[in-house]
Chain A
């Protein structure tokens, strides 16, 4: 056989199957392009353009690359299996006509080479062109300098080419393995062999329902943000597995159940739909589950990342209440006394006036932080002595604030009688009329004057544990005798002075101000014998905001980009599903027409099947999203996003937008399906 015949056969095969090949190639191109864009944006070339938060942008983008690479591998394998199934018949014919397996392998190899070359070339070209757009988007999002020079990064190009060459190589190997295993007759029939009627496995269906229930329960029952973060991935895996089980086994079981119900099943509009759904549910179910999972991923990503982006402002304000924020940590409660604080305060004021800066909107706050375990109205702060092991989830963060500071800070006067305390709770409930603070044997009991929701200090570190704020008349008296370092040598109490003010300077000015003030305080610490503190930290909101927007902007960007990829994937799955089912159903509907089914009946049956297949993944995705909501909300709290209303809004808008897009895609692909079915019918 002439050498040139293999590439010709391969090219012919691709050309003749373009209805199946074109979308596959297009997906490959899209994925390669987006992967290149991610690589490019994380490359030194592009990072140089980003003003702030380079490291977080790089980290998030690298994470995105990994996700995309894994997804590409799985997804391209999946869609390629549709392709190869249709090609098998052709290969079978070649086989019968005298081509050996070796020759077939060569045809497949050429086909893979052509596909890979087209995908890589197209993808990299599109990537190069679009990377500028993405770069503009990201740089603009992060308030960087925009220019219009076209850049490329060799490292990113090579990395992308290698990654996808590897993926294509794996697909090629699996196609060869498949062909090598099958016999000629098998190859000829590969396309027409229907799946065996699925039996519908009770155990699997039940396992799916139980797993889904457990995942949902997990999602709603967790109220600790840190747990939410760890369990989130577990819940995601459970939901993915459960979705597949429920859609594959559960749906078959449901169809079987409907078939057993004679009165329902033997009706013109149910008969055909139910039986063909049941028959193909094994594959159909997997496709639907994939669509559902992708839809859920897109929705979660979109709603969370938009919420992050639009909530970043609030998050920054709560983390950095003033333009300049000073946190001083003391060694003992005495250092929170006015004598000591006046010296530090004086230094700050002198520093500001020396620079000609007026301090406005001053915030001045003392607090004592500790951790403890609450049990029967007693907060045991020496929790190492509590019986049994203390789980992290049992811990509370306790913040002691003086009534005077609280009143000054909030502007609401608070009068407490002797031995009384006012409580603020966040993430826990308390309804006792007294509360005891204990450090080992030392204990102090307060009558509870009032309990309200909230916290006195917003930028309080952590935010992961439930918080109990105890407002007392005298801070020093409240913790007297507590002030002993634990056996481990780690202080159980933190004495903090929080001092902040606005300067009216621009971002750079604030940034310099904070930096210089930090240095000034360090000098004070070194030179003065009278002042005492363990450490000070000065943060400018501008610096924090830059980091925030760096990581949030990158996250938002990745969220939108990955959503686009997953959407494209979902569209492709739907398309392939419709087309491949169209080919299968064409014959079936042809028979039905011959046996006496009217065209309207056929149309109705098609419509009802399509609607079910359309609505099922969307409904499930909505359900998943609803149950994921509380969990994602807790995870967002870790990112200092507390605005539930905003998250509800972004979630609803994301869902509505997705549903509209999905409906559009479905309408378009359904048309293709009708065309195929009625073409032969």
Chain B
């Protein structure tokens, strides 16, 4: 059984008074195996964000199903959705989404506190993680006191600390300079190497080239996918770039 299974996902947005309908996702199907590192690419308006919102259980599809370890998202009761999300999914956002009222440490603790863990358990989990991510020195600081790269590493720590089934990353390098981006991508690779499943939405070919597989979405459908296999980062990057060019030209399936 795949870890994540997405079948015939369709999402139609209607304007408020039901007039004009916009099809954000037409028919999206794919699976993610445990331990995979998948990047989803596409231009703005291709439906990437809609897809991620549905995968994050923040939004409901018009049709189709999403299964996480065989569990159907649509069968989860509304009141349990937040708990489900908290227990199974980890999020990394483009804008970090750290709370400025909390210290870095408390930001990382947030999901655990919500899950009702005691402080002793939480701090036992935090220390090794903070060391691995190189943020032990800034735990007591507030988000506004640290750099963008550090903020994103804190956000990663917050996503990882609950040991989620899958990490959903939405343009995680979007707000970072190139050095911080590289650091973050290296971090993702390391985390993935330890068995963490990651699904990352991006439109940076550089970022996607570090993933194990790249899905291309165009006009609400999976247009193409590329497996890394044994290719090197650079070669994979070139292949991705070619596909993007093709995508941009509006060509047919490769």
- Report if A and B associate in a common complex: yes
B158 and A595 within 8 A (CB): yes
A595 and B101 within 8 A (CB): no
B100 and A279 within 8 A (CB): yes
In chain B, what residue has the closest Cβ to A597?
B114
Closest Cβ of chain B: how far from A594's Cβ, in Å? 6
A266 and B101 within 8 A (CB): no
Select one of B87, B97, B109, B113 contacting A594, CB under 8 A. Answer: B97
B109 and A266 within 8 A (CB): yes
Interface size, B (range): 20 to 34
Is B111 in contact with chain A by the CB < 8 A criterion? yes
Is B73 in contact with chain A by the CB < 8 A criterion? no
A595 and B97 within 8 A (CB): yes
B101 and A588 within 8 A (CB): yes
B83 and A268 within 8 A (CB): no
B93 and A275 within 8 A (CB): no
A599 and B82 within 8 A (CB): yes
Is A271 in contact with chain B by the CB < 8 A criterion? yes
A197 and B142 within 8 A (CB): yes
Contacts of B100 in A (CB 8 A): 194, 279, 588
Q: From residue 71 to 91 of chain B, which have CB atoms closer than 8 A to chain A?
A: 79, 81-83, 85-87, 89, 91
In chain B, what residue has the closest Cβ to A262?
B119
Could you tell me how many residues of chain A have their Cβ less than 8 Å away from some Cβ of chain B? 27
Is A114 in contact with chain B by the CB < 8 A criterion? no
The contact string, 1 if C-beta is below 8 Å from chain B, for chain A 557-594, is: 00000000000000000000000000000001001111
Contacts of A599 in B (CB 8 A): 82
In chain A, what residue has the closest Cβ to B87?
A596
Is A263 in contact with chain B by the CB < 8 A criterion? yes
A268 and B97 within 8 A (CB): no
Is B106 in contact with chain A by the CB < 8 A criterion? yes
Is B144 in contact with chain A by the CB < 8 A criterion? yes
Closest Cβ of chain B: how far from A597's Cβ, in Å? 6
In chain A, what residue has the closest Cβ to B78?
A599
Closest Cβ of chain A: how far from B31's Cβ, in Å? 24
Is A191 in contact with chain B by the CB < 8 A criterion? no
Contacts of B85 in A (CB 8 A): 596
A594 and B93 within 8 A (CB): yes
In chain A, what residue has the closest Cβ to B141?
A197
Chain A interface main SS type: helix
Q: From residue 334 to 377 of chain A, which have CB atoms closer than 8 A to chain B?
A: none
Q: How far is the CA of A315 from the CA of B39 in the complex (A)?
A: 86
B113 and A268 within 8 A (CB): yes
Q: How far is the CA of A596 from the CA of B93 in the complex (A)?
A: 14
Given contacts A266-B109, A271-B113, A601-B114, contact A276 B101 (CB under 8 A): yes
Q: How far is the CA of A279 from the CA of B100 in the complex (A)?
A: 9
Contacts of A588 in B (CB 8 A): 99-101
Given contacts A266-B109, A266-B113, contact A596 B82 (CB under 8 A): yes
Q: How far is the CA of A265 from the CA of B112 in the complex (A)?
A: 13
Q: How far is the CA of A276 from the CA of B111 in the complex (A)?
A: 16
Given contacts A194-B144, A197-B142, A266-B109, contact A593 B82 (CB under 8 A): yes
A275 and B102 within 8 A (CB): yes
A595 and B111 within 8 A (CB): yes
Given contacts A266-B113, A276-B101, A592-B99, contact A598 B79 (CB under 8 A): yes
A279 and B110 within 8 A (CB): no
The contact string, 1 if C-beta is below 8 Å from chain A, for chain B 107-128, is: 0011101111111001000000
Closest Cβ of chain A: how far from B11's Cβ, in Å? 19
B119 and A263 within 8 A (CB): yes
Is B58 in contact with chain A by the CB < 8 A criterion? yes
Contacts of B89 in A (CB 8 A): 596
Select one of B97, B106, B109 contacting A591, CB under 8 A. Answer: B97
Is A267 in contact with chain B by the CB < 8 A criterion? yes
Q: How far is the CA of A212 from the CA of B85 in the complex (A)?
A: 49
Is B215 in contact with chain A by the CB < 8 A criterion? no
Q: How far is the CA of A597 from the CA of B83 in the complex (A)?
A: 7
Q: How far is the CA of A597 from the CA of B113 in the complex (A)?
A: 10
Q: From residue 275 to 322 of chain A, which have CB atoms closer than 8 A to chain B?
A: 275-276, 278-280
Closest Cβ of chain A: how far from B142's Cβ, in Å? 6
Q: Which 7 A-B pairs have the closest CB atoms?
A: A596-B86, A598-B82, A279-B101, A262-B119, A266-B119, A591-B97, A276-B101
Other A-B pairs, 8, CB within 8 Å; known A588-B100, A601-B114: A266-B117, A271-B114, A275-B102, A594-B91, A595-B86, A595-B110, A596-B86, A596-B114
- Give 14 A-B contacts (CB < 8 Å), ordered by A residue: A194-B100, A265-B119, A266-B118, A267-B113, A267-B116, A271-B114, A278-B101, A280-B101, A591-B98, A591-B99, A595-B97, A595-B158, A598-B83, A601-B82
